[in-house]
Chains A and B, each alone.
Chain A
Amino acid sequence: MSELKLTDVAKTYGSIDVLKHIDLDIDTGELIVFVGPSGCGKSTLLRMIAGLEKISGGTLEIEGQVMNDVPPAQRGIAMVFQSYALYPHMTVRENMAFALKIAKMPTAEVDAAVERAARILQLEPFLDRLPKALSGGQRQRVAIGRAIVRDPKVYLFDEPLSNLDAALRVATRIEIARLKEAMPDSTMIYVTHDQVEAMTLASRIVVLANKGVAQVGTPLELYETPDNEFVAQFIGSPAMNLLPGVISGTGEQTSIKLDSGGTAVSSIATDPDQMGLKVNIGVRPEDFFADEASGFFEGDVDFIEALGEVTLLYFASASDADGVVAKFPGIEKNLRGHKVKLNADPAKVHLFHNGVSIRKRS
């Protein structure tokens, strides 16, 4: 069942469009992650759902009810802020109980709800402390606890982990995943900058760019079949390589004569009338392998980053605007300065025309 539905939602500040034509349909129990470059309006969209920001156009429905003008507290949502936003003058217990007390819930029930949340989040030892006597991770758990006690239909997270250090971020990420598993009926929307968070947590990812939705899909859909160059380059690290060329053979498989010389093959089917079309092929760094015999890209290894598990090869950019990057498994120290010929499985070669995937067009 559709839990949360955005129809043609827009946001403008005066004459500045920040978001427009946002359509989203989120099902009960999903964990949706918003990603996108900084300033693309992720927080704004989340805050519009929360009711902290006015919706300039379109409708927001939660459980079939239009929520545009419903006050935040009555939307059945709870939000976890990046800066935790704990009430500094209240103990952990009071922080978590605040919403329930405001709602005039009987004390016994408030206590029960707080105890339950504290147990889930292992906050019991800290219930009578003030926020300033907690570590960053503990504070974030309190902020999550404050959301849990209200038992909302939709949880909203705005970059909840970005103030934590790397190790704690991983631990808290796993905790959130567990929490989500323990509450299969609650819907979560999660904003992040971190790809790993997005890929591991999301049931679906929404990529925002250029004031709109660039693509919605499961993490692997976005990784394997990006709809456009933006998503292709945004998901995955290092970004997908784009090499310009011209379609030189159509059919079940497509051949592309690259501007840099070689001919690549993609398993994406094309029609004869697409012959001669100017395209970009997209290959992820990890999909390249060395192939002296039949590689379609040849270049000098300009620079190497050995990460242990993988080695990144940066190729000198002769004609391509952005240099080509390849990711080889294991340690490859001796390739610097050498010529390497690269090939890729046709199934892993993406095709884009005018920035949009050819697969998408046909």
Chain B
Amino acid sequence: MSPALQGLLTIAIGVSGCVGYFYLSNQFLDKVLFPPRGPNAGRNINRANMIRPWLFLFPALAALGLYLAYPVVETLRLSLTERVPGGGYRWVGLDNYTQMAAEPKFWEAMRNNMFWLIVVPAMSTAFGLLVAQLTDRIRWGNFAKSLIFMPMAISFVGASVIWKLVYDSRPAEQDQIGILNALYIFFGGAEPQTWLTVPFWNSFFLMIVLIWIQTGFAMVILSAALRGIPEETIEAAILDGANPFQIFFRIKVPQIKTTILVVWTTITITVLKVFDIVFAMTNGQWETQVLANYMYDKLFRGDDWGVGSASAMVIMLLVTPILIWNVRNARKEME
């Protein structure tokens, strides 16, 4: 069977399965289990209504449990055990963690992640805000916005390939196909640089890729928030003598503060999990390692499930507080 047909069939089965589940289980509840008839009709209706939400939530809860909760527990277990040659596991306590903490590559990944954490959310949010503000009043603003939003539609790996071409480097005697080197040579650079191998700065070259992607996200959300600011408060500020900068920073930005925070933290979470870009562009070489790629290295290349799981736990511990805070903020904003 052709893959397209197969896909369609899967979709059809999946969707009708879902609909079928909700419809039939609901029917079962109302018709068979607690029918609203007979001597206990009232009680039955109440009971059915108590059970119904759980009935409908069950598939989602089961899937989340299977694919989210269980792996967390299993990863925790793996991070505290060691595989014994010949099969089986042995409890080793925090050995994996201490081993990991002794590795310079782990600390390099931690340090790089911190850089990513500071630079990417800040730059993406700042650029997003700037673009949202600047495109709001001009006629081709919506066109500009679509262009800036487009990278959102590209996968991280795809974006990495694009940017790898930007940073590409050819031997000096050949024409440069990487635009960065082309510009560098054009403006008087001596010889082409292999940008991605220059330690410290190469991390920033990788960050640019993520900033490029996330600016569109920040822009869309912040632009909606800016539109929601009551026009009168801005007019009042104009009458109060505020100049455009003061209006932006003292009237507009404070009014969308919670949205800015939500955007910031959402990007922060993406950054903590950043993997594809590093994997596709440098694979953590030349001091560009990050936690997620480190974890991948350990788990699937080094086959060291203990340390790999330990690093996964570290990532989770870093993400969780931000995630909770983010959800709280988003809720507050909805009120």
Contact = CB atoms under 8 A, between A and B. Distances in A.
Contacts of A85: 230, 232-233, 235-236
A81 B257 contact: no
Contacts of B232: 81, 83-85
B226 to A, nearest CB: 14
B230 A83 contact: yes
A243 to B, nearest CB: 45
Nearest to B254: A89
Contacts of B250: 98
A77 interface: yes
Contacts of A167: none
A88 B255 contact: yes
Given A85-B232, A85-B233, A88-B233, A79 B257 contact: no
Nearest to B250: A98
Interface centre among A51, A84, A89, by most B CB within 10 Å?
A89
Interface string A16-39: 000000000000000000000000
Mostly helix, strand, loop or mixed at chain B's interface? helix
Interface residues of B, number: 17
Contact of A98 (B230, B237, B255, B257): B237
Nearest to B234: A85
Contact of B239 (A72, A88, A89): A72
Nearest to B238: A72
Contacts of B242: 73, 98, 102
Contacts of A150: 240
A100 to B, nearest CB: 9
B241 interface: yes
Contacts of A83: 230, 232
A150 B240 CA distance: 8
B241 A103 contact: yes
Contact of A52 (B235, B251, B257): B235
Contacts of B236: 79, 81, 85-87, 146
Contacts of A99: 239-241
Interface residues of A, number: 24
B240 A98 contact: yes
Contacts of B237: 87, 98
Interface centre among B236, B241, B251, B257, by most A CB within 10 Å?
B236
B142 interface: no
Interface string B213-236: 000000000000000001011011
B285 interface: no
Contacts of B238: 51-52, 72-73
Given A85-B230, A86-B233, A89-B254, A102 B239 contact: no
B46 interface: no
A90 B242 CA distance: 15
Given A89-B255, A89-B257, A77 B239 contact: yes
B246 interface: yes
A52 B257 CA distance: 26
A88 B256 CA distance: 11
Interface centre among B232, B240, B251, B254, by most A CB within 10 Å?
B240
A50 interface: yes
Contacts of A86: 233, 236
A88 B251 CA distance: 9
B158 to A, nearest CB: 40
A153 to B, nearest CB: 13
A216 interface: no
Contacts of A188: none
A344 B250 CA distance: 62
Interface centre among B230, B232, B238, B255, by most A CB within 10 Å?
B232
A105 to B, nearest CB: 11
A102 B240 CA distance: 8
A242 B230 CA distance: 44
A70 to B, nearest CB: 12
Contacts of A87: 233, 236-237, 251, 254-255
Contacts of B233: 85-88
Contacts of A98: 237, 240, 242, 250
A150 B236 CA distance: 13
Return the 6 tightest CB-CB contacts between A and B, nearest first.
Answer: A73-B241, A85-B232, A99-B240, A89-B254, A85-B236, A102-B241
17 contacts: A52-B235, A52-B239, A72-B238, A73-B242, A74-B241, A77-B239, A79-B236, A79-B239, A86-B233, A87-B236, A87-B237, A87-B255, A98-B237, A99-B239, A102-B242, A146-B240, A150-B240
Given A73-B239, A73-B242, A99-B241, 10 more contacts: A52-B235, A73-B238, A73-B241, A79-B239, A81-B236, A84-B232, A85-B236, A87-B236, A87-B251, A99-B239
Interface of B: 230, 232-233, 235-242, 246, 250-251, 254-255, 257
Interface of A: 50-52, 72-74, 77-79, 81, 83-90, 98-99, 102-103, 146, 150
